[in-house]
Structure 1
Amino acid sequence: MSDTRSAAWDAYAESKPQRREANARGEATWFNWTQHPDHGPGVELLSLRPGGTVLDLGCGSGGNLAHLAGLGMRAVGVDLSPAQLAKARERWRDAEGMELHQSEALTFLAEPGSFDAVYSVFGAAYFTDPGLMLPAVRDRLGPGGVFAMSQHPAVEGCYGCQASYIPRGPEEDPAVVKRWDYAPDTWAGLFEKHGFHDVTAEVLSAPASGRRRIGTLLVRGVRGR
């Protein structure tokens, strides 16, 4: 199964360009929670201080991770796709404090050690059973550590485990991966059930301009002591 999923995300990586050289403010690195450029909150949601430790679940080509490393964090990224990690190493080869690992998210979370924050931006948290993911994340967070994740909001009435299809070229069937979709209130309840407090779950509206109108689901919780 992991080989099939890895191939799917490799195909996805080949279809996506590298992150822009600079954002609208002219910055070479930045943190973005949404699928819309230059939109939404930033790294402040993670409540990190310089020198803190942070884990990106499904780091992809590493743009958010590189920004955290540039702020003085020990920024660790895990991704199942070798192609995604190769793009990250190429683009951010000079980023100090940035570590990249190829692994299933749950496998990596089972290893020892703790982080001050864990996050997932349209990443592995979207594609992992929350009944397994949330306790695994909680166990890797120190007391008071933050977990935040963003993904597409669920289509009304389409909740639970869903199928996503990832194109693999004109001569191949699309790859199929599972994702988990819930309404914000359900996500908040799941976070609380698995030991998080001060939970917020909301759908951020799309920017007022532009033709893309789908918002972004953003869920954040703090590990209990």
Structure 2
Amino acid sequence: MSQGAWDVYAMTKGPGRAVNSAGHSTWFNWTQYADHGPGVELLGTPDRALDLGCGTGRNAAHLATVGVRTVGVDVAGARVKQAQEQWKALERVTFAQADALAYLGSAPWFDAVYSVFGALWFTDPAHLLPAIYEHLTPGGVLAFSQEPPIAECYGPQGAYVRGTDRKPHAIRRWAYEPGVWAQALERFGFSEVRAGTVPAPDGEHLGTLLVTARRCDRAR
């Protein structure tokens, strides 16, 4: 899917809620449901964090408000511009328009890398996982969430999104069961892997796949 197609797709998404149920303008949410599931504690206590597929940047902005220097990266320029404008008053967060793999090619070290329905869902893990590993500090956390796979439909999936141009745009998503994600992460050097599904809230049927892992080698 081209960058232009991602921009078209991004324009179909609304701005989201201004505040959550507690009245806060920033918060961290791993699932597709409002005020549901775990929060920022899954990332530990990072000094620097990277959001791969940051969208409107709310998760990155929340990290900035609690003292974490955060970079949000998204391939959709329209989303990045929105995030830059919405959170321009925050000093500890920056946003960049880039493909996840391209950005990691010249990125600094991070204590936490995360993706909420973002690049970890739409990029070949055989390439992205080792690239993330190489940019995590020892002990650093990788965490990501996405929709769970459809039964018997695993691996790279073809799908389409329809943007404001009314045309279908092809995308690829990587859908694996939790155990397969765990094996892949361990194969690329990660440890302390936890992979499972956060149950849906009452009235909903689709849970959220949530995976966390660490880079636990010695400091260089």
Q: TM-score normalised to the size of structure 1?
A: 0.93
Alpha-carbon separation, structure 2, partners of 1:151 and 1:193 = 21
Aligned-residue Cα RMSD (Å) equals 1.2
Matching residue of 1:174: 168
Q: What does the per-residue CA deviation read over 1:128-175, in whole Å, with 9 as the maximum and x for residues that have no partner? A: 111101100000000000000000000011111101211123x63211
Alpha-carbon separation, structure 2, partners of 1:35 and 1:112 = 28
Which letter does structure 1 place at the counterpart of 2:60?
L
Q: TM-score normalised to the size of structure 2?
A: 0.95
Distance 1:112 1:157, change over 3 A: same
Q: What does the per-residue CA deviation read over 1:90-140, in whole Å, with 9 as the maximum and x for residues that have no partner? A: 221211111111111001111142000000000011101111011000000
Alpha-carbon separation, structure 2, partners of 1:153 and 1:181 = 7
Instruction: Please state whether the residue corresponding to 1:59 is helix, strand or coil.
Output: coil
Matching residue of 1:126: 121
Match of 2:185 among 188, 191, 197: 191
Alpha-carbon separation, structure 1, partners of 2:59 and 2:25 = 11
- Check conservation: 1:197, 1:222, Cα contact below 8 A: yes
Match of 2:196 among 194, 198, 202: 202
Alpha-carbon separation, structure 1, partners of 2:171 and 2:183 = 25
Alpha-carbon separation, structure 1, partners of 2:107 and 2:80 = 22
Matching residue of 2:212: 220
Q: What does the per-residue CA deviation read over 1:177-215, in whole Å, with 9 as the maximum and x for residues that have no partner? A: 11100011000100111111110000111101x3x3211
Q: Which runs of 4+ in 1 moved over 6 A?
A: none
Which letter does structure 2 place at the counterpart of 1:43?
V
Q: What does the per-residue CA deviation read over 1:14-43, in whole Å, with 9 as the maximum and x for residues that have no partner? A: 111113111011111100000000000000
Alpha-carbon separation, structure 2, partners of 1:81 and 1:12 = 8
Matching residue of 2:56: 61
Match of 1:140 among 106, 110, 135: 135
- Aligned pairs for 1:95-174 (under 5 A) are 95-169=90-164, 172-174=166-168
- Check conservation: 2:84, 2:94, Cα contact below 8 A: no
**How many residues in Structure 1 have an aligned counterpart in Structure 2?**
217
Q: How far apart are residue 8 of structure 1 and its match?
A: 2.2
Matching residue of 2:41: 44
Which structure 2 residue ranges, 5 or more long, are not aligned?
none
- Check conservation: 1:19, 1:63, Cα contact below 8 A: no
Identical pairs, percent: 48
